[in-house]
Structure 1
Amino acid sequence: MPTGTADIFAALARACEVAGDGSSDFDLNPKVRPTGRTLRPAGVLVPFMETDRGVELILTQRSSALKHHPGQVAFPGGKVDPGDVDEVDAALREAHEEIGLAPGNVEVIGTLPTHETITAFRVQPVLARVREPFAFRPEPGEVAEVFTVPYAHVTDPARFVTEGRHFRGQYREFYTVPWGPYYIWGATARMLRVLADRVSR
């Protein structure tokens, strides 16, 4: 596991170059995977920033007042809007809106394979380096909190645990990688598990 800042960002760059198929919310539950549906494109930013504690990943906790996925931990990001060039552009725009991260303060490292969500999105994870520390500015009404998690925690496959619960009348399993009071699970944890598997090779 790389520990120096330069080594960490080099490892993240290499992770983007590994060949492989995309992931899905249905990876652990293939029997309930729907077929024939149209997926909507989306982009999420996976932003790593050097702090006085080391390199850390920036995540958000969604507002409990939201209709979809209230209170869940998520990457900044969202669906591709008509004005966006592509998924990377959407991820950068959403990160600016949701947490106050200016696009000019972002160095895009690369992308991971797309992730299919249960809500019919095809999500493009965009790995990025935040050039300079900045003041988090949670978007009112959408983001309850912005917080960071150590690089070593989210890139270690041993930190991930498979759990399960009944959802819409069916028992489904999913990945989790909790950090302190934050329960990181579902699509966010699945995409991070892809990253962890690639970094640990």
Structure 2
Amino acid sequence: MPDPLAPVLRALTLESGASSDFDLNPDVVLPKGRKLRPAGVLVPIELRGDIPHVILTKRSSHLKHHPGQIAFPGGKQDEGDADVTAAALREAQEEIGLPVDNVEVLGTLPAHETVTSFTVTPVLGLIRDRFEIIPEPGEVEEVFSVPLAHVTDPTRFSVQSRRWQGTRRHYFTVPFGPYYIWGATARILRGLADRMQSP
């Protein structure tokens, strides 16, 4: 039987540039000298049989930033974090109850710049064993999983737009059932999809 993670591991060896929330908006002029804060998100992969799934969260609708959006577990790098990988693992434990020692880090994707001035490093990690999902009260409304094949299939993506700060902003979306996956999460997944489809 072929290794179900082989396409992911191969994708992590390929070279590609960084991405940003502005990729589809070339007219945006970014301020010179802007300071980006480091952050890490975990792309948690679990095998259900031989089928890889990605765990995602739906942020609480009461949050000040990105309420109700679909996101990877993760956040900014704190002083106590050794690096952005450590930040991603810590945040995943806080947000969904995933023990740090239950994750095998597979590698990272190029950093992604967000409109909120973070440079986010996506960390791909394999969940070794089933665990009890415990959503962080007040921050995580729901935790769900989606087949990796769905969110790494370029044909599932579309480009949509909405007005943002007085201008029209374009962004990737990759819907799954009732979940509207868009913005930075969809852009990071699109980058992984492009790598996995690369000849």
TM-score range, shorter chain: over 0.9
Amino acid at match of 1:84: D
Q: Which runs of 5+ in 1 are unaligned?
A: none
2:17 counterpart residue number: 21
Equivalent in 126, 132, 137 of residue 134 of structure 2: 137
1:68 counterpart residue number: 65
Kindly indicate whether residue 153 of structure 2 is the aligned counterpart of residue 123 of structure 1.
no
Equivalent in 31, 37, 44 of residue 35 of structure 1: 31
TM-score, normalised on structure 1? 0.95
Equivalent residue of 2:192, what SS? helix
Amino acid at match of 2:123: V
1:85 counterpart residue number: 82
Aligned length: 197
Amino acid at match of 1:15: A
1:99-140 CA-partner distances (Å, limit 9, x unpaired): 000011100000000000000000000011000111211000
Equivalent residue of 1:41, what SS? strand
CA contact (8 A) 2:92 2:98 kept: yes
CA contact (8 A) 1:109 1:127 kept: yes
2:174 counterpart residue number: 177
Percent of residue pairs bearing the same amino acid type: 60
Equivalent residue of 1:182, what SS? coil
2:41 counterpart residue number: 44
Equivalent in 142, 149, 153 of residue 150 of structure 2: 153
Structure (1 or 2) with the greater helix fraction: 1
Tell me the distance in 1 between the aligned counterparts of 2:66 and 2:37.
17
Tell me the distance in 2 between the aligned counterparts of 1:8 and 1:196.
15
- The runs of at least 4 aligned residues of structure 1 exceeding 6 Å deviation read none
Q: Which runs of 5+ in 2 are unaligned?
A: none
Tell me the distance in 2 between the aligned counterparts of 1:45 and 1:95.
7
